[in-house]
Amino acid sequence: MTGLPKPGDEFGGYKIEKLLGQGGCAAVFQAEQTRTNRKVAIKIVLPHIIEAVAGVAPRFLREIDVVKRIEHPNVIRLFDFGQTDSGLLWMAMELVSGKDLQEVLRAEGRFEPERALHVMTQALSGLAVAHDTQIVHRDLKPSNLMLTDQGVNRDIVKVLDFGIGKAIGADEDKTVQEVTEAFGDALGSPHYMAPELLKREAVGTASDVYSMGLILFEMLTGRPAVEADTIFEVYAKQVYNDIAMPKWLAHSALGPILNKATAKTTADRYGSAKEFLAALQKVDAGSITYVENDEVLTPEPKMPARKSRAGVPTAEKLAPAPVPAKKSPAPRRKKTRKKKAQSQQTALLLLLLAASFILLAIYFLTNT
């Protein structure tokens, strides 16, 4: 298989003009449709991805048929797709001028509540159409939300990168789900991924809700909800730690909504973008006041309960037990049991880190 196209190359009725950007799974080019002179963005799957995943071509083409269902002003429009003579997989999409949300936040800092809600409600409106057809984005993050200006209208949102959306409807071809799993390994962004994605559990529309909750928090505060020095700490915080909110936000109308959107279990979350949107539409942005350097309320990490097996104590049994006051050895026993509980928690974290190493190893092996 040949490499990526160069400016001037033509295929499928499009002429490549320039490279716009490249990620872990695909490259995006600006191109022109030769028949209509329309400018488009062409996304091309990187050759090493195609070579690494057996039978990826027919699966990719089926996946695009899924994405074609999504028609909404706040979702990038798909025009065409195909495969070149050399085997490259491509899709032509609406070309949007503007900046992604990540760039805007870096340049301007936090948003006022009214602006944050304006952006989020648009994104959720587009996402709701996908969720209605049981399509899950899986990789929502600030860089996948484009902000454009149209005339006097500012901050018009376009949701990008539905190409890795996972079809979960019962009527979907299993191969569509298989290819999205393969792409998900290359594209997932741990800082915005739901706990069930990191734990390789069942993924659904509530997984997107979690990511959107983290993005809303970042717009309101100007900082990511999940901050850590290493990828392993990111994984641990996503799985065990509720987000630490500044007091002004936690006590506002948005506090309970954000807590529900970012709950660690899907059963405790809004089930879809439509439910999350409905909750936000009831909020009066004018009633929310930002407080500089406000106290941050940090919740305690939630360690999982252990299943009882023969010879294995449950979480309750690991907790320090009450000790009779009259027995002198009591303080020492309490301290010993506390250390044992801490050791169990440390062991659990080490297991999580080991799993993270394995996932990273798989990623590097499939991308070399």
Q: Is the dihedral angle over the CA atoms 307, 312, 314, 318 positive or is it negative?
A: negative
DSSP per position, 58-122: HHHHHHHHHHTT---TTBPPEEEEEE-TT--EEEEEE---SEEHHHHHHHH-SPPHHHHHHHHHH
Active-site residue 9, yes or no? no
234: number of Cβ within 10 Å: 21
Per the DSSP assignment, residues forming a β-bridge with 93 are: 41, 78
Decide if 85 contacts 5 (C-beta within 8 A).
Answer: no
Q: What is the torsional sign of CA 7, 8, 10, 15?
A: positive
Spot the catalytic one: 139, 161, 208, 242. 139
DSSP string across 173-206: -HHHHHHHHHHHHHH--GGG--HHHHTT----HH
As annotated, the active-site residues are 139
